[in-house]
Amino acid sequence: MANSLVQFRIDDTSKIKAADICERLGIDLPTYMRMCISRLIQENGIPFSIKLEMKPENRAVAAMKAASRIAEENGISDMTRDEINIEIAKVRKQDSL
């Protein structure tokens, strides 16, 4: 079977990002393009999604999001700093008794 050269233009940033993702998946960009074309033909459409796992969220960020959600659920998300400090002082006073 004869081979054909397929060329297209893409901006440098996109090419670098795509090549980086492919490298992290253990393939090169031309291999990925051949895979896409092969599957496109087999499925007669765009049939797949290949993604890297997203980096787990930082535990501190996750805790802050959870705290914000809880505050919203309890109707206290709009407390001022002074109101928060008063509440903290009350709890500390109760704990010291």
Average pLDDT, the chain: 88
pLDDT per residue as tens digits for the range 44-77 = 988 877 777 777 777 888 888 888 888 888 888 8
pLDDT-derived band at 78 (thresholds 50, 70, 90) equals: confident
How many Å apart are CA 50 and CA 35, to the nearest integer?
11
**Residue 39 identity:** R
More reliable by pLDDT, 13 or 84: 13
- Vertex 28: Cα angle to 25 and 31 (nearest 5): 105
All structural domains of the chain with their residue ranges: 12-43, 59-96
What pLDDT was estimated at residue 32?
93
